[in-house]
Each structure stands twice: as C-alpha cells, then as structure tokens.
Amino acid sequence: MAKSYKELMNEITTFIFDVDGVLTDSSVHITPTGEMLRIMNIRDGFALKAAVESGYHVCIISGGSNEGVRIRLKNLGISDIYLGSPDKVETFREYCAIYNINPEQVLYMGDDIPDYHVMKLVGLPTCPQDSSPEIKAISKYISHKNGGKGAAREVIEQVMKVQGKWHLYYDGKHD
C-alpha cells in the first residue's frame, strides 16, 4: 500500500524549490532597462529560514538567473542556490551526491514542465495549486496555495509539524 503524503513527510530531510511559479507567482515586472523584477512572499521566506535553522537541507534549483533572487535567498540562510540551471536533473543528482542525500528523503516543489523529470526522482513531489496539469498529475501533494502566495510555507510548515519541529517557531525560542 502506498504511503500517504503525511507519512512521506516523516522521512523528509531536504527541501528543494523552483523559483518562478513556486516562490513567485510567475509574474515578472520588466523595467525600462530590461531588468526583470519578481515578488516573493514574506511567509514563504520565514518558513525557508525556519527550515534552514532547524537543520534541513534547503536547495533552490531554477532555470532563471536573477541576482536579486540569489541575494534574497542567501539572506534567508540558503547557501545551495542553483540559478540558471540548464538541466535540473543533473543539478539535483550533483546536489544529492555532495550531501549524500537519499532522493526518497527529498520534497521538491515545482510548477511546470522544466520540473517534471526531477520531480519523478524524489520521495515527495509537490506543487502549488496553480501548477500545470502535467505537474499536478505527478505530485503526491498539491498545495492549497498558489505559487508565490504561501505554497512553500504550507509544505514546510506541514513537514515540520509532522516531525515535531514547528512549535519551536511559536513558543518564543526564535524571537
């Protein structure tokens, strides 16, 4: 019998997220100089930082290469940031090899076709509510939130609650 997504959450040691459509709402604001600006959710950021501080591996793999995104993620304590990744599967395999991570212990959140093949390799593929149909079809958990609107926070919080770690963030130990 297949494990439920809640049972799979017990085994998660690693979170991997795409950026556009997951940590953002897929929109880009283009300035007159051609710079593409993205909007990220503060609550997603809080949860990403909480995961890092709780000892989870947190990794970002994105085809995009915005340096503002890199700075934001570094400020949250994330050191494994792969922007401009031409092959997400190769990047994923290299990352797992560096840290000796079992793919079954990985929660990956993606939203569109570039995430498809890597999502097939992980223990808990997840996606935001507004993801493409192909990604929803292979996800073991579909967030109730859209990309950039708290989907990352939702899955991180659920994993940490299942593993008994979320309470550290509302009992005053991380004020």
- pLDDT tens, position by position, 5-30: 889 999 999 999 999 999 999 998 89
Q: Each residue of 65-124: pLDDT tens digit? A: 889 999 999 999 999 999 999 999 999 999 999 999 999 999 999 999 999 999 999 999
* 83 three-class SS: coil
Q: Each residue of 117-163: pLDDT tens digit? A: 999 999 999 999 999 999 999 999 999 999 999 999 999 999 999 99
> In Å, how far are 16, 87, 89 from 40, measured between CA atoms?
16, 24, 25
Quote the CA–CA distance of 62 and 110 in Å, as a whole number.
10
Quote the CA–CA distance of 34 and 132 in Å, as a whole number.
27
To the question of pTM greater than 0.85 for the whole model, the response is: yes
pLDDT value of position 169: 64
